[in-house]
């Protein structure tokens, strides 16, 4: 059952051509294990998946599976804007050892609510891998309406949703109307994790836990235990970083923050760019107060 803290992994790069830095990735994974994070997401937005070649994507899955299988839950992002390709990508992830797939709403095509439902219906009929829906209108151009999500949640193999709509009212509707032990609502926004858990959510798929896995996990665990007073203190301690991580397009700021903190995250691939000087200065200020 999905519950707790899951890290949306960055993809560390090195050198002028931004090749994948597997040595830094190994250190990142070891740090996640050290802090007992429940799971990691490979090939998500934070991993810069659209800029990775197919062979690089497979190499990342293989590397993480080799390091973490049976030690931590491995969730692979397999969603695309093509139903056929999404099915294919999900089958590859399953064959390579993923525990679950994270599947974003089809982007760019702008499907209707019926098209969104049929997309997930087709996928669920072609796999036995547990599926986590990823709702993020800001990147896809389409929100999954609560009525549609309720229907999707009844499909085979659907185990939860990463809610990144940024709309707390919608999150409340989802929590109030899709009441199944087998369906988890996870925050897709670090800053909304605490309020979402207070309303009945079960955790977070976090960007900031790349850098601060221990503090993020402690905040989530305290919230899930009902100790909201202690969790709130951690929430406000981390809030500047939660906000700082999205001063520019993710994952630029979190990678820069990791580099500032001495973790080798490297740069970002085009069309993303190195963060602006004012963003770097703000991140240095935030980390100076936090570390």
Catalytic residues: 134, 162
Rounded to whole angstroms, what are the CA distances from 118 to 83, 137, 140, 148?
9, 18, 17, 10
How remote is the C-alpha of 214 from its chain's centroid? 17
CA distance linking residue 16 with residue 266, whole number of Å: 10
Rounded to whole angstroms, what are the CA distances from 225 to 58, 61, 131?
37, 33, 26
Burial 131-169 (b: 16+ CB within 10 A, else e): bbbbbbbeebebbbebebbebbbebebbbbbbbbbeeee
67, containing H or E segment: helix 54-68
Rounded to whole angstroms, what are the CA distances from 264 to 209, 242, 275?
15, 20, 16
CA distance linking residue 161 with residue 174, whole number of Å: 10
Contacts of 262 (CB under 8 A, 6+ apart): none
- Please report, in angstroms and rounded to a whole number, the separation of the first and last CA atoms in the chain: 33
9: three-class secondary structure by DSSP: coil
């Amino acid at each position: 059952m999905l519950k707790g803290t899951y890290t949306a992994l960055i993809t560390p790069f090195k050198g002028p051509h931004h090749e994948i830095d597997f040595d830094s990735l190994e250190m990142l994974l070891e740090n996640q294990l050290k802090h007992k994070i429940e799971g990691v997401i490979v090939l998500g937005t934070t991993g810069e998946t659209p800029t990775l070649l197919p062979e690089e994507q497979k190499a990342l899955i293989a590397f993480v599976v080799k390091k973490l299988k049976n030690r931590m839950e491995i969730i692979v992002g397999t969603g695309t804007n093509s139903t056929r390709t999404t099915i294919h990508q999900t089958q590859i992830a399953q064959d390579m050892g993923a525990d679950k797939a994270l599947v974003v709403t089809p982007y760019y095509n702008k499907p209707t609510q019926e098209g969104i439902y049929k997309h997930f219906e087709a996928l669920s009929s072609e796999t036995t891998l547990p599926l986590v829906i990823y709702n993020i209108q800001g990147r896809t151009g389409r929100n999954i309406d609560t009525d549609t999500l309720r229907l999707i949640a009844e499909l085979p193999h659907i185990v939860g949703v990463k809610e990144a709509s940024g709309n707390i009212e919608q999150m409340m509707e989802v929590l109030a109307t899709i009441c199944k032990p087998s369906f988890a609502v996870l925050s897709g926004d670090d800053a909304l994790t605490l309020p979402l858990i207070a309303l009945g959510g079960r955790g977070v798929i976090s960007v900031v836990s790349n850098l601060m896995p221990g503090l993020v996990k402690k905040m989530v665990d305290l919230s899930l235990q009902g100790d909201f007073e202690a969790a709130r203190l951690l929430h406000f301690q981390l809030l500047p970083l939660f906000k700082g991580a999205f001063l520019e397009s993710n994952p630029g700021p979190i990678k820069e923050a990791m580099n500032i903190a001495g973790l080798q995250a490297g740069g970002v691939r085009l069309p993303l760019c190195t963060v602006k000087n004012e963003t770097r200065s703000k991140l240095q200020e935030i980390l100076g107060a936090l570390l």
